[in-house]
Structure 1
Amino acid sequence: MSDILLVTGASGHFGRRVLDHLMNILDVSPERIVATTRKPAGLTDLALGMSRHALDRLTGQTNS
């Protein structure tokens, strides 16, 4: 399976748990995950190869 998975709110508590579950329990490769958050500085410690982007779902603004 080569689907790309989008995780919104990735720097928050629930988003971090989702990322952990995807990578450590379901063994999803970081290259298949796109992590988004309003606070991109909170994503700097994520696995290499994981795509990280700023996204505010309330305003629709993005910064890649």
Structure 2
Amino acid sequence: MKIEKIFTAQALAKGGRDGHVSTNNNVLDVDLSTPKEMGGPGKAGATNPSSCLPPATRPALRVPWA
């Protein structure tokens, strides 16, 4: 079976769980920070990096998360 490429996306992540993520078209541009409850700095206004994983993997894994 041949797979045809229909879309290409690029993202850059720096600094790991307490860093920054952005896409080449700047639609996604967020700071990441592990919550204090999980032993991180809990930076105000930043996104918990763990909250990014389930939506991103749902289509690939076909996991029925609500």
- Fold shared by both chains (TM-score > 0.5): no
Normalized per residue, the structure richer in strand is 1
State the TM-score, normalizing by the size of structure 1: 0.25
Question: Relative contact order (alpha carbons < 8 A, sep ≥ 6): 1 or 2 greater?
Answer: 1
Larger Rg: 2
State the TM-score, normalizing by the size of structure 2: 0.24
